Chains A and B, each alone.
Chain A
Amino acid sequence: MYRYDQFDEQLVRERAAQFRGQVERRLSGELKEDHFKPLRLQNGVYLQLHAYMLRVAIPYGQLSSRKMRQLAMIADTYDKGYGHFTTRQNIQYNWVALKNIPDVLDKLADVEMHAIQTSGNCIRNTTSDHLAGANADELEDPRPWCEIIRQWSTIHPEFAFLPRKFKIAVTAAAPDRAAIKVHDIGLLMKPNANGEVGFEVFVGGGLGRTPHVGVSVRDWVSKGELLSYLEAIMRVYNRFGRRDNKFKARIKILVNETGPEEFTRLVEEEFAAQGPKEKVVLPDEEVARIMAYFAPPEFEDLPEVSQAFEREKARNEGFARWARINLRAHRTPGYASVHISLKPQGVAPGDATGEQMRVMADLAEQYGMDDVRVAHEQDIVLPHVKMDDLPAVYAKLVEHRLATANAGLITDLIACPGLDYCNLANARSISVANDIQAEFADADFEEEIGKLHVNISGCINACGHHHVGHIGVLGVDKKGEEFYQITLGGRADEKAAIGDIAGPGLRHEEVRPAFRRVIDKYLEVRNGKSETFIEVLERLGQEPFKEALYASA
């Protein structure tokens, strides 16, 4: 894992001290809210329905046990004992008092963390594949490049006042687990004709009011030229991106209004025009220095099959189910990646208590090579666990309600905080999520349904990624009543697609039975269990599902 050098350390400490002064001036009345608001936003502090919310950056979703324990301490000391992991691999605290935030920032700085660039019109946290460095299908580890992008984009003066916020995601595996095509820039690591690894560059993806799938503007750019190329894109955006209308300011609108070909031409022109002094040249030693932090841990030479694992599977049905659903293959024999679901029945998706965070930190330290990841599905992953240790890990997870066997299934849904917390919301998301979870609470039935992604947002800002859920749910307000618009056929993977709106909105209490009818229809028409929901939808189109959705109960 990357460790701060003296510059990182100094920057984070200075920012925390500066914000302490700003908070003091706000509390003394010297600073009015109008002046303070942009300052607090630059430090990740929002004002939500009930309280201030602090969003803390987790670069590319990676934590150590020490960092996770500190997040737990902050939840217990400064919040109400829990935190919320987000679709951008960050964590949010919902109840932090403004007067305490400077102390929280100091505590974060103690473990090399901060809240800088988690809000505002700047380059946000660069996200990545939560299985990076562990999965067999990856070309190479994308995290060093996320870190390089983080360093380049942090407090970059040219990109501190972009037309709108800007999100970058990087993956190095063909199955896209980082949803790169719905980011402002998505980077896919791949070889060129000579076998040299570089990046395919997608631009203009994004959700919100006008969802778009990113378009490929460059089939391949070398590692050495990556930052210069990104800089060319950012310059075109800074120059031509609209600043007159907040709703048209994202780069996706620019790409779309300019047309992908013309946009690409502008970027290539900017890239070609960069003089040698303008090029962001990465010294080899610096790349090597950063790479070294991501060197694979020392895996033991283990047999492919773990007897302890097999014995427990045969003995314990709960463990066997969890192993089937929540484990992911590791590139090293004898190891697995563990998906810890933060979606048990009746909990806000992505919420974890301080105690649960500490348990996950302990497990990472004891069994997981001190590595913890936040997945954009709002779950936690221990990427490197010995198969022999899985029974012990599972037992501990069960004790703390962290062993729900639903990774990738219908109840492992993504949901934003919605009207229970968010000041911009139209409708609740969490209660809809909990209703759907209750409908599919039977574990056998859920497993029978198979892979299915449900994404829920409480307003058109789409923090819950509803457009790219196989089934998406969007909360809307109709004369003071919550309604829910259903979209079908979205996907966030390598075949990224925006779902189509199925029809008129449903009342809150109608969503659960409507989901049941859609799933029953799927089970009726699929060609066996191996044909997933999204495959059937793509084969048959929306009609049968629309009919089921709106059939009266």
Chain B
Amino acid sequence: MSSARPKLKPDTPKAVTAWNTQTGRTVYLTSERRWSEDVLDAAVLTAPQDEEELAFAKGDEQTVTDPYFMQVKAEGGVDGRETLRETIRAQGPTNHPMFGKQAGSP
């Protein structure tokens, strides 16, 4: 279940990620509360702002599906226990790099 991701501590730098409802593509919440497909655009959040942003994401149900926190580095970029999973989500399958985001959307 996408919602059963590991719990992150309040002060751990994190980003809000989800799936675009129309296309299913992986997206990240930016500091302007827009959704970007580039993980490096993600707003780096800690408590208490993180919960506010997640609440915003959950309220934006028409645009995105199943938002959750992922761990990032303080300067941005995937980090933590789920680094491999989130890197694959950000870039595409490791066996088919050409089928990642750069390959465009059907």
Contacts and interface: CB of A to CB of B under 8 A. Distances in A.
Interface of A: 26-29, 32-33, 47-52, 77-80, 82, 94-100, 348, 419-421, 423-425, 428, 430-431, 434, 479-480, 482
B28 to A, nearest CB: 14
Contact of B106 (A78, A421, A431): A78
Nearest to B64: A33
Contact of B25 (A51, A94, A420, A424): A51
Given A33-B66, A47-B2, A50-B25, A419 B105 contact: no
A480 B81 contact: yes
Contacts of B89: 49-50
A27 B94 contact: no
A508 B84 CA distance: 13
A47 B82 contact: no
Contacts of A479: 81
Interface stretch (B7-15, B16-24, B48-56): B16-24
A49 B88 contact: yes
B95 A97 contact: no
A98 B106 contact: no
Centre residue among B19, B88, B95, B105 by max chain A CB count within 10 A? B95
Given A33-B61, A95-B99, A77 B88 contact: no
B62 A100 contact: no
Given A47-B65, A420-B94, 4 more contacts: A49-B26, A78-B106, A98-B22, A424-B1
A27 B94 CA distance: 30
Contact of B2 (A51, A95, A423, A482): A423
B23 A98 contact: yes
A80 B81 CA distance: 30
B85 interface: yes
A480 B82 contact: yes
Interface of B: 1-2, 19, 21-26, 61-62, 65-66, 80-85, 88-89, 92-96, 99, 103, 105-106
B88 A419 contact: yes
Nearest to B98: A80
Centre residue among B84, B93, B105, B106 by max chain A CB count within 10 A? B106
Nearest to A75: B106
B21 A480 contact: no
A48 B80 CA distance: 21
A480 B71 CA distance: 12
Contacts of B23: 51, 97-99
Contacts of A96: 24, 106
Contacts of B1: 423-424
B93 A430 contact: yes
Contact of B61 (A32, A50, A425, A431): A32
Contact of B84 (A47, A95, A423, A482): A482
6 contacts: A27-B62, A28-B62, A50-B93, A51-B24, A420-B96, A424-B1
A50 B87 CA distance: 11
Centre residue among B62, B83, B89 by max chain A CB count within 10 A? B62
A80 B102 CA distance: 11
A395 to B, nearest CB: 28
A419 B59 CA distance: 29
B81 A27 contact: no
A125 to B, nearest CB: 23
Contacts of A100: 106
Nearest to A96: B106
A278 B31 CA distance: 63
A507 to B, nearest CB: 13
A32 B64 CA distance: 10
A428 B80 CA distance: 18
Contacts of A32: 61
Nearest to A428: B94
Nearest to A480: B81
A424 B82 CA distance: 13
A195 B25 CA distance: 58
